[in-house]
Chains A and B, each alone.
Chain A
Amino acid sequence: MHIAEGFLPPLHAAAWMAVSLPFVAVSAYRVDRLMREQPQIKLLLAAAGAYAFILSALKLPSVTGSCSHATGTGLGAILFGPSVMALLGTIVLVFQALLLAHGGLTTLGANVFSMAIAGPWIAHAVFHGSRRLHAPLAVSVFLAATLGDWATYLVTTGQLALAFPDPVSGVAGAAVKFAGVFALTQIPLAIIEGLLTVIVINLLNQNSRQELDLLAFAPGDVR
């Protein structure tokens, strides 16, 4: 969930930008070097970035009938790797703010941290962890996407709780409040996204082996 423009107090907005900046800078440096070594990879990365944007705009089927969107964090982390996702995710979040007014420029740092850094890294770690434990591909993909989503929402919850501590019960109380609200919608949503990611990876494995081979720069354990 994107924190809306202007929702965070200035100090928090600035602090989250400072936290996210080194991750994005390292990712940008790596991608820049990658593109200098192999110029043609620029087009591939651009396609990946635009794909991530469209993925996040796809409407998910939802049980309650409300309109909800995929985050694409898990799929992106599995396909492209978290170190590339930090930059691509940031680009996508800037475009979402400027083209759709989802999220914002002042809350960009906080949103980048939850959606382009924490989510992909957790998804990546879960995916590799469960692959190492010899879990089947489908199970690993499901766990990575679902837990990556939950991680994103927990981070957002933490960010909101730190910014708006409860007058009585403090940060912990606020965290319980926000987690409670998000849990209603996000627990089922993340499970739906997990299932969806499994379907996508299975279809890609069946039909797009060649395209997957192009992603040689990514960890690429899908192959």
Chain B
Amino acid sequence: MQAIDHHAWTNRWRDWHPAEKLLPAGSLLILTLILPPLSSGPLVLGSMAWATVRGAGVPARALLNVLAAPAAFLVAGVPFLAVSVHFADGLGLYWSPDGLRLALDTTVRALAAVSCLAFLTLTTPLTDLIALLRRLGIPAGLIELILLVYRLIFVFAERALTGRRAQTARLGYVRFDRSLRSVGGLASNLFQRALHQARRMEIGLAARGYTGELRVLGSERALSWPRLMMGMTLVALIGLMGEWLARGLS
């Protein structure tokens, strides 16, 4: 978590207007879902990896870590796409060629889609993306709530880590029953502290004249149309090439 956030704030494209990253990555994500995965998936994966590592200067290791996140889900789900069951005479299991193709398609599609997500999260700080929500007509109060959740997540994560370390040092996780008790204790303690924190913030803000709106200084960045157009053109090219390859293959 800290790793993704760290790269989002420190990469080379950090100061670009978020729309310049969101629109191309978002359109490519949608294209990935629509186009035949076997031809366009590798193209999407390659171009997004290139943009993330070469363009924005995010270490390749960070990108690989993000791509590995859904791996567990794919490993658990994909083999079962390739296996067929039937109940005609008892329960039967067998390999099906259609299923195998479906499993391959789904894996490639998911990996390509994750690469779009990885590009977005590794190059764009979440606060920038949240600020864009205003354009969608989300009330200012809700946006503030989302921003507050984002900031508190890091505060609480540190507490959770500290608590866990303290419990481990006191042999809190040596046995199953003790682990269960320790996690329970940690969760309830965090709850108490979370609400305590909220109350403290409430008092602190009330003392500063809080009436329901938190005013923060946002960094206004000009949208660069050439960059946005260039990104969108590249996306369109990838889409066309994927489509063309798919025709060639079939």
Interface of A is mostly: helix
B43 within 8 A of A: no
Give the interface size bracket for A toward B. 35 or more
B114 within 8 A of A: yes
Contacts of A105 in B (CB 8 A): 26, 29, 117
Contact A173 B84, beta carbon cutoff 8 Å: yes
Given known pairs A39-B212, A61-B180, A173-B84, the reply for A204 and B117 (CB within 8 Å) is no
Contact B87 A50, beta carbon cutoff 8 Å: no
Contact B126 A98, beta carbon cutoff 8 Å: yes
Contact A98 B121, beta carbon cutoff 8 Å: yes
Enumerate B132-177 residues with CB–CB distance to A below 8 Å. Answer: 138-139, 141-142, 144-146, 148-150, 152-153, 155-157, 160, 173, 176
Contacts of B27 in A (CB 8 A): none
Contacts of B150 in A (CB 8 A): 95
Contacts of B187 in A (CB 8 A): 55, 58, 70, 75, 196, 200
Contact A181 B149, beta carbon cutoff 8 Å: no
B129 within 8 A of A: yes
B192 within 8 A of A: yes
Contact B152 A47, beta carbon cutoff 8 Å: yes
* Chain B, Cβ-Cβ closest to A94: B146
Contacts of A176 in B (CB 8 A): 85
Interface centre among B77, B84, B129, B155 (most CB of A within 10 A): B77
Contact B80 A173, beta carbon cutoff 8 Å: no
B190 within 8 A of A: yes
B1 within 8 A of A: yes
Point out the residue from A47, A59, A63, A166 that lies within 8 Å of B198, measured CB to CB. Answer: A47
Contacts of A4 in B (CB 8 A): 70, 73-74, 110, 114
Residue pairs across A and B with Cβ atoms less than 8 A apart, 8 shown, are A31-B145, A43-B202, A61-B179, A95-B150, A101-B67, A169-B86, A208-B191, A211-B192
Binding site for B on A (CB under 8 A): 1-7, 9-10, 13, 28, 31-32, 35-36, 39-40, 42-51, 53-55, 57-61, 63, 70, 75, 79, 87, 91-92, 95, 97-102, 104-106, 160, 164, 166-169, 173, 176-178, 181, 192, 195-196, 199-200, 203-204, 207-208, 211, 214
Closest 4 CB pairs of A and B: A6-B113, A199-B184, A39-B212, A61-B179
